[in-house]
Amino acid sequence: MKNDLLYKTLRHITNDMSWYLDDFIAEFSIDKRVIADWWIKRTEDYETFSVLNSGLAIHAVKTLCKKKKWIDTYDMNPFIHDLAWDIHSSEYFHHATVNTSFDPYLIEPREVVVNTSCECSAPMGSFGEPEMIKVLGGNSATKIGTINRIDSTDQLIDQWNLRHVIETETLDLIDEFDVPYKQHMVIGK
C-alpha cells in the first residue's frame, strides 16, 4: 500500500509537475533529516507543533505522527497542498497553504512553532505568544526562494525578537547537490 502511494505520487509529479521533481527529491535529502532530527530531539516533551515554510516535511511529520503528536504544516506553494495530504494520511496531521510571512494570523497557535527555512521568509518579529517555544533555522545558501540570508544564530534571535534563548548551534551540512553549507539553529522564546 505504501509503495502504491509512492508510485502514485512520483507518477503525478513526473507527469503533471515535472518542474517540482528536484524539490520533491530534495525533501528526502540527508540534510533535511538531520535538521528535523535536531529539533525533534530537543522538543520531544511537547505535544503540538506548527511548522512554517514546511515543504512536505516528510521526516518531521512521519516522526511526530508516529509519536502521536499533533503537527500542522504551512507552506505557500499551492502545488504541494494535495501531495502533503496524500503523503501524510494521519489523524495527527494538518496542512494549509499559507504565506507565513504575510498571513501569520492564519497559523494555529501551538506549543512549538518551527521555521527551519527562515531564509525563505521575511523576519517574523514577535510572532506568536510570548511563552511559545520557537525553533528557528536558516542559512546563507543562495537557492531559489532565498529572500533573507541567515549568516548567524544571532541574526535569527534578532529577527524573531527572542527574549530567552534556550539553545543555539550551527550545523555543517551538505545539500542535495553536494554543496556544503552552514545551517544556523536556535531554540528560544
164 assigned to some structural domain: yes
**In the predicted model, is pLDDT for residue 122 greater than 80?**
yes
What pLDDT, on a 0 to 100 scale, did the predictor assign at position 1? 46
Task: Summarize the confidence of residues 118-147 as an average pLDDT.
Answer: 87
149 assigned to some structural domain: yes
The domain of 99 spans 29-188
Most distant pair of Cα atoms in the chain: their distance: 48
Mind listing the pLDDT tens digit for each residue in 74-101? Answer: 999 888 888 888 788 889 999 999 988 8
14 assigned to some structural domain: no
18 assigned to some structural domain: no
pTM of model > 0.75: yes
- Strand order across the 165-174 sheet: 93-97, 70-75, 48-52, 112-115, 133-138, 180-188, 165-174
16 assigned to some structural domain: no
What pLDDT, on a 0 to 100 scale, did the predictor assign at position 84? 87
- Mean pLDDT for the chain overall: 89
11 assigned to some structural domain: no
Mind listing the pLDDT tens digit for each residue in 7-37? Answer: 667 777 777 777 777 777 778 888 999 999 9
* Total number of domains in the chain: 1
pLDDT band at 5 (very low <50, low <70, confident <90, very high): low
Q: CATH number of the domain that 168 lies in?
A: 3.40.50.150
Mind listing the pLDDT tens digit for each residue in 47-59? Answer: 999 999 988 888 8
